[in-house]
Structure 1
Amino acid sequence: MLSAKIQKPRSTQAARRTLLVALLASSSLAGGTAAMAQTTPAKTDAQGVTQVEDLVVTARLRSESLQNVPVAVSVLTGALAVQENRNDVSALVAVIPSVEFRSQPSNKDQDILIRGLGTITTSAGAEPTVSTVIDGVVLARPGQMVSDLIDLDHIEVLRGPQGTLFGKNASAGVINIVTKDPTPTPGGFLDASYYTGNEYRVAGAVNGEIIKDTLSGRLAAVTSSFDGNVKNVFNNTKVNGDDFQGTRGKLLWTPNSDLRVIVGGDYMYTTQTGNQAIYLANYNIAYPTGIKTTSANLLTALTNEGIHPSFSNKDISLNSPSDDRDLTSGAYIQADYSLGGGYTLTSISAYRYWRNVQRQDLDSFSGLTTQTPTQQVDLGHVWEKQYSEELRLASPKGNLIDYVVGAYYLHEPDKENYRRDVTQLTAAGNVVNFGFNQFGATTTNYSGFGEANINFTKSFRAILGLRLVHDDLSFSTNRVTSSPTAVPGVSPPFAATGSAGVNGYADRIGVQYDISDTANTYFTYSRGYKGPAYNVFFNMTALQTNQLEPETSNAFELGLKSRLFDKRLQFNLALFDDTVSNYQANEPDLVAGTVVTRLINAGEVSTRGAEIDAVAKPIDNLTLSFDYAYTDAHIDSFSCPPGSAISCNVNGKPLPFAPRNKFTIRADYMAWTNGRYDVGLNTNYSWQSKQQDSIAETPDTIQPAYGIWNAAVVLTDHKGDWDVRLTVRNITDQHYYMIISEANGGLIGTAPRDFDRFAGIAFHKNF
């Protein structure tokens, strides 16, 4: 019998109580301060105006100043995450104009897009286009990234192909997540916050030396809960909420001056209640005709259930549970050994585990009526493991040639099962059918890589990088059904296996010139590479057994990085042009009248544009930042499968989730101080132009332009080493949706946490 339960060592309530006790106990034992971010301390000039701080990143697998790296990089610090209550990847990347997060009811369907590029699929046999890396470990599936980013140091978002160094699934960019390492200094912190809507979060860490001069440790934990901001009128409950409990621990072993070993582990259990059925309208607008079709049946059905579709609706009516439960965990060992002469050998050995259970009321109605004659209930399970090893050698810097070379191995077996129960109202009574599929895919990746600088002079250098890749990919599927013919959302019985072995490569060639000590420019060409794929999913048929070709891209980037006016202004500019061949994308399809999707090599797409990242400190105690992206992402040539309708021709249309213009403005000002106490004000405003949410290019799935304004006031006690913050999010109460799509003759949307205005208070204490 299928079960929606993930086995845990104790109940959710008991786990939450245990974490709360552990956090309070650790905070009472700690006795120092913890570093908030990996930065070089800001300097002050003779007039007392603070300069913009110099951030240190590992975008090229060694520590370098952000301003010296010939890559477009955005950095989000752990301090910003605390300041703005952004505790997961989707919330943090929302402030980066070049990045979009695509949300669906199941975490296995989540995806990140950079510069308009990303693979939107639920297939077990396809990898993402944007790579997510945590503490040097690549995550093979995007669903693994759904987690509270406990004890975050910073996130680096590398835009554009990064295949020469990060390799696996990095053809459009990298989300590099870095959590805090242990230090010998005893200390820790405690965070506690509460927001309207009954949302709370308690997190903390304890840090210190265990064995003098040899072993240090750090342990962090979090518990959080949010009731949700959508109402299910069927049972008068709140949905679109979440619940997190987790812990992260690290040990730092330094037996001598030449060896540094980090051993880390993490565990996170998540429950999220989905809201895939918020009805916005009871019409569809066809592409390319523009014909609007209104469904009176849909409006009647919704009205009977107490739902009034509109773009401010927050009510749904579901009679079956819809939620997503995830258990993510893992462990890694990183050893850095100094070989002498400035050479460093690094090994990262890692194991990760992901368990997902998805329950979904697919039909989006609570009643079986003549207006809604079909009900579909889904239950899916994912068991995913990954084993990886990376070995690399970094040379000393300053010679004619400096480099990083290495080898990488990943083995990822994925097993899934999925059941769909379908009830149909007919003249003869209710007819019940089901489909059940056991499927999965196994990926094994081998690669050798390297990137080098050829330093012709102190100011002028060439950049050369290459990664050689071999992917072995296999799949199996075995669907059994109660009906020999298709029923809504369930294809007939089918079984198949397949495998492929493919060689590929990624490269980077470029030059960089230091205009001065505080400004440099670079030009690079990169070939992005993403491996082969199979469309392995519940409704897989013979049409999907063909291997999809690897996705490749040719990307050009021209960049300027500068620090001006005695380093009071940091101004970075990137111009990019990226063309992708064999683009892997989902095309809408029908199974007995129900929309499903199939992954195809969609053809050729391109993205080009400009990005600005600027930070200024015009006067003492005031920091301003401005981030802007102009993105022109289009479908150049769409490869319509045989038998497709004329609406499949979407050449020249925009790529989904790629707004043409997007920007974020942020200001932080210390309004008052007496030496011990400070009162600070901070505010930020993000705006984006309209965006298309469907590759079908239907006019009704275009999200209108919107802007979100947030603000906070913070009181800091430097002597007591604490601060308290009052925050208001979405001050103007601007409604928007994370995705808009067509369903049942109407439109549905997914509401974000800040769909409505909300406020809260947060307390932070260092020990």
Structure 2
Amino acid sequence: MNANRLFALLATTCLSAAMPAFAQDAPPPVTATDAPGDTQDGEIVVTARFRNESLQQVPIAITAISGSSLAERQLNTVETISAAIPSVGFRSGASNKDRTIFIRGIGTITTSPGVEPSVSTVLDGVVLTRPGQSTLDLGEVERIEVLRGPQGTLFGKNASAGVVNIVTRNPTDDFHAFGEAGATTDQDYRIKAGVSGAIVPGKLQALIGGLYSDFDGNTRNATTGNDTNGSRRYGVRGKLVATPVDALKLTLIGDYLNTYETVAPVYASTRQVAYPTGIVSVSAPLAAVLANAGVRPSAGNRVAATNIDTNVRDENYGGSLTAELAIGEYRVTSITAWRQWLNHQQQDYDGLPTLTAAFPQGIDDGRVDSEQFSQELRLASPRGGLIDYVVGAYYLHAKTDEVYARTLTSLAGTVQTTTNGVADYGITDDNYALFGEANINFTKAFRGIAGYRSTWDDLSFYHLRTSSADPTNSGAPALDRPGIRAYHRAQGSTDRRGDSYRLGLQLDLGARAQTYFTYSRGYKGPAYNVYFNMRSLNATTPLDELPLSPETSNSFEIGLKGSTADRALSYSLAAYTTTFDGYQANFADVVNGAQVTRLINAGSVRSRGVEADVTLRPAKGFTVDLSGAYTDAKVRDFLCPPGAPVSCNVDGQPLPYAPRVKLYENAAYRFALSDALAFELQSDVTFSSKVQYSLSETANTIQPAYAIWNASVALVRPADGWQLRAYVKNITDTSYASFLAPGTFAGTVRFVPRDDRRYGGLLLRKDF
């Protein structure tokens, strides 16, 4: 479908629907203060359905965390919020292009640019298409909303498992400034500051803020002698809000973030355990190499030995223009956005410092250039009639180009052979959609919910791989090396259309409680498996690059939300069951002695469970937040890819990143020491039952159950905006892995989380 025709059609529809409103009173003003995040009777207001609604009234399982709470607990990235929301998981990786978010045990793990994540990350109304873009530092935010379950009706095709909605801080009419500085006992430093105010009072407001952080890391490379697993970030975000007339608000946003990281795995063990036989393979050559380098593999190991420090340089930036126009009681919203993501990673392929006959040595160098342009247009009707609705159209053009090079040296006797392989590949995706969602208000307290989205995808890829072992570009399999395959060239395209929809009922149980039941169908479009080490039947015939079918889901959810009149108790309960067909997943395999992954339609999987969020306020200044999730996420019917071993039958086994039980508790008590000074005690605990990190179900990739306990104390001067907080993370000094995986050739490696050991910190905040 032509994009211009699509938007012309929608614009005509929107204006036609709005015309009767001109006979009404003057349109309500669209002001800079008319923003989500304000409160109604002390309740959080969210935009989960593109309207300002009370969190307790939205018929969706949703958690919202305020920006102030994120800052106080030093939850500065999407990865760190997974500790505070039990239904959320996060997959670590050496490069942020390999990382992704999971909700209710569902997420998409891949290094291929030809597939979108199952969990959508939305930044100020703009959908981020690549998983790596969502690993950004949050900066100064108003709040984060996490919507659980399929949200494709309003948020699009890459929201089949849920949405992480990031809402950044808005400028104010009054002059306002903030500054934040933090330091930890293990040399993690962070500074954040900004100013906000009116350029033209009532008409033009601006905010600009920046951040800088530096952390050497909590692991060490014995070969180079450097600290690793660290990061350095700096960035800036600016907002301009103009209200030239009462009925029109324009918001211009620009942001830039530069990141440098040295995240690398360390060896947890020299063994691997086969599934389903349980046969243990211990690698004596690996044990010898690690021992000579001074590395002792263990569940708490924090020492690696590689020829280079694995590193990634990342630039993530973009801009958007949001226009909100009130026409009578209707509101038209347009969001025009452009973003670019540049990623350059260097990795030690073999993860070892020494060349031996058993293990080749390799260095990887990869570059990603991803660019997207999107346009969204929607119309929201007034509330209170028989039917109120949001309808809209969406267009996305996304292009990702990657160049990945590997230099591999092998040893046979005394002869060294070096092979160079380079892969040049990428995708282009054009996505079009028409969508809408409506409430049918049967009575003031009882309503129906109906939503629909029609999605069109045009997806194409190209791939060219060359190898110095195949100088004539013959593509002969005999010229394959353990980590480098012979010449290959392929390209292809596919186009599909799919449907997402939601149906439901919602009943208000008095003024402060409601219950709902929804059925949702999720849809994620076609995909291509395109990456460095692709398999082929010959020089030009692909084996791994055949198009993947769309992923669809069917979800049933029932929920109950409410609070007491004095808000001493607030609660949200949800039970759900979701089945995914055509599940797009990475499957680990071994080809020519080296670990590879294949993006496949893995068959059918199911996630079902119960979630609860409870807030207690037993006394003034005393708040207790309790959250829990019971998740039963399993493979129903796995489709083994061609050439995979018989052991790939994983029917009935748990999905990765889906602990059966995950709990979170946060308690804070603030009381006055004097008229001007308050003191706060705070403590939080996260518990996770054991979790499998691999779809291949190997026993060595299971993280046992663990709990992390944090606490802080703070002195607060509310009148002048001062806060000084001292905190301790991981009080019990518990070691765990954020990701476990087979080593490139043998053994098991683990990724070390930021809070893998106990550390303390100080945080100073001033709001002017």
Matched with 1:511 is 505
The partner residue of 2:437 within 439, 451, 464 is 451
Paired residues of 2:452 and 2:500 also in contact (CA < 8 A): yes
Q: Structure 2 length as normaliser, TM-score?
A: 0.93
Task: Supply the AA of the counterpart residue of 2:373.
Answer: Y
Deviations 1:682-721 (A, max 9, x none): 1100001001111010111111000000000000123332
Matched with 1:177 is 166
Instruction: Say which SS state the counterpart of residue 299 (structure 1) adopts.
Output: helix
The reply on whether 1:296 has 2:296 as its aligned counterpart is no
Matched with 1:625 is 625
Alignment partners' CA distance in 2, 1:408 and 1:756:
45
Alignment partners' CA distance in 2, 1:544 and 1:95:
38
Q: Give 1:214 shift.
A: 1.2
The partner residue of 1:155 within 118, 128, 144 is 144
Alignment partners' CA distance in 2, 1:320 and 1:206:
41
The reply on whether 1:755 has 2:743 as its aligned counterpart is no
Q: Give 1:428 shift.
A: 4.1
Q: Would you identify which runs of 4 or more consecutive aligned residues in structure 1 move more than 4 Å?
A: 34-37
Q: Give 1:737 shift.
A: 0.7
Task: Supply the AA of the counterpart residue of 1:239.
Answer: T
Matched with 1:10 is none
Instruction: Say which SS state the counterpart of residue 567 (structure 2) adopts.
Output: coil
Matched with 1:765 is 766
Paired residues of 2:40 and 2:54 also in contact (CA < 8 A): no
Deviations 1:293-328 (A, max 9, x none): 222221111100100111111100111231011101
* 1:563-642 equivalence runs, <5 A: 563-564=563-564, 566-642=566-642
* 1:630-709 equivalence runs, <5 A: 630-709=630-709
Paired residues of 2:740 and 2:749 also in contact (CA < 8 A): yes
Instruction: Say which SS state the counterpart of residue 145 (structure 1) adopts.
Output: helix
Q: Give 1:560 shift.
A: 0.3
Task: Supply the AA of the counterpart residue of 1:745.
Answer: A
The partner residue of 2:344 within 348, 357, 369 is 357
Q: Give 1:94 shift.
A: 2.4
Instruction: Say which SS state the counterpart of residue 300 (structure 1) adopts.
Output: helix
Alignment partners' CA distance in 2, 1:289 and 1:499:
40
Deviations 1:23-62 (A, max 9, x none): xxxxxxxxxxx999924276xxxxxxxxxx4100000011
The reply on whether 1:62 has 2:63 as its aligned counterpart is no
Matched with 1:281 is 269
Matched with 1:259 is 248
Alignment partners' CA distance in 2, 1:489 and 1:546:
21
Instruction: Say which SS state the counterpart of residue 618 (structure 1) adopts.
Output: strand
Matched with 2:37 is 38
Matched with 1:493 is 487
Change (3 A) 1:37 1:387: closer
Matched with 1:140 is 129
Paired residues of 2:115 and 2:529 also in contact (CA < 8 A): yes
Matched with 1:367 is 354
Alignment partners' CA distance in 1, 2:442 and 2:35:
38
Deviations 1:79-104 (A, max 9, x none): 11111111111112321000000011
Change (3 A) 1:223 1:583: same
Q: Give 1:373 shift.
A: 3.2
Alignment partners' CA distance in 2, 1:321 and 1:240:
9
Matched with 1:99 is 88
Matched with 2:738 is 738
* 1:84-123 equivalence runs, <5 A: 84-123=73-112
Alignment partners' CA distance in 2, 1:725 and 1:640:
52
Paired residues of 2:83 and 2:664 also in contact (CA < 8 A): no
Paired residues of 1:436 and 1:479 also in contact (CA < 8 A): yes
Alignment partners' CA distance in 2, 1:425 and 1:141:
38
Q: Give 1:592 shift.
A: 2.0
Alignment partners' CA distance in 2, 1:323 and 1:37:
38
Paired residues of 1:491 and 1:591 also in contact (CA < 8 A): no
Instruction: Say which SS state the counterpart of residue 165 (structure 1) adopts.
Output: helix
Gaps of 5+ in 2: 1-32, 471-478, 536-541
The partner residue of 1:248 within 237, 242, 256 is 237
Matched with 1:315 is 303
The reply on whether 1:410 has 2:399 as its aligned counterpart is no
Matched with 1:27 is none
Q: Give 1:544 shift.
A: 1.6
The partner residue of 1:344 within 301, 315, 331 is 331
Matched with 2:24 is none
Change (3 A) 1:711 1:41: farther
Deviations 1:426-449 (A, max 9, x none): 114110001101100001100000
Matched with 1:5 is none
Paired residues of 1:125 and 1:475 also in contact (CA < 8 A): yes
The partner residue of 2:183 within 166, 190, 194 is 194
Matched with 1:471 is 457
Deviations 1:366-410 (A, max 9, x none): 11134x531011000000100000000000000000000000000
Alignment partners' CA distance in 2, 1:281 and 1:671:
49
Give the alignment's Cα RMSD to 1 decimal: 1.4
Paired residues of 2:36 and 2:45 also in contact (CA < 8 A): no
Paired residues of 2:36 and 2:46 also in contact (CA < 8 A): no
Matched with 1:426 is 412
The partner residue of 1:335 within 313, 318, 323 is 323
Deviations 1:200-226 (A, max 9, x none): 000011000002321110000001100
Alignment partners' CA distance in 2, 1:439 and 1:181:
39
Paired residues of 1:37 and 1:79 also in contact (CA < 8 A): no
Instruction: Say which SS state the counterpart of residue 183 (structure 1) adopts.
Output: coil
Paired residues of 1:525 and 1:556 also in contact (CA < 8 A): yes
Matched with 2:545 is 545
Please say which of residues 318-327 and 432-441 is displaced more in the overlay. 318-327
Number of positions where the alignment pairs a residue of Structure 1 with one of Structure 2: 721
Matched with 2:4 is none
Task: Supply the AA of the counterpart residue of 1:300.
Answer: A
Paired residues of 2:103 and 2:148 also in contact (CA < 8 A): yes
Alignment partners' CA distance in 2, 1:626 and 1:455:
33
Matched with 1:390 is 376
Task: Supply the AA of the counterpart residue of 1:448.
Answer: L
The partner residue of 2:515 within 510, 521, 541 is 521
Task: Supply the AA of the counterpart residue of 1:250.
Answer: K
Deviations 1:233-288 (A, max 9, x none): 11211000000010000000001110000001000100010212x11111111111
Q: Give 1:566 shift.
A: 3.3
Deviations 1:492-547 (A, max 9, x none): 11000000010001000000001111111000000000010000111123112211
Q: Give 1:491 shift.
A: 1.5
Paired residues of 2:350 and 2:359 also in contact (CA < 8 A): no
Q: Give 1:672 shift.
A: 4.1
Deviations 1:620-648 (A, max 9, x none): 11100100000000000000123321111
Matched with 2:476 is none
Instruction: Say which SS state the counterpart of residue 659 (structure 2) adopts.
Output: coil
Task: Supply the AA of the counterpart residue of 2:422.
Answer: F
Instruction: Say which SS state the counterpart of residue 543 (structure 1) adopts.
Output: coil
Alignment partners' CA distance in 2, 1:37 and 1:497:
45
Please say which of residues 526-535 and 281-290 is displaced more in the overlay. 281-290
Alignment partners' CA distance in 2, 1:432 and 1:734:
42
The partner residue of 1:224 within 208, 213, 226 is 213
Matched with 1:49 is none
Alignment partners' CA distance in 2, 1:35 and 1:510:
29
Task: Supply the AA of the counterpart residue of 1:305.
Answer: A
Q: Give 1:673 shift.
A: 2.5
Matched with 2:293 is 305
Q: Give 1:146 shift.
A: 2.0
Task: Supply the AA of the counterpart residue of 2:395.
Answer: Y
Task: Supply the AA of the counterpart residue of 2:166.
Answer: I
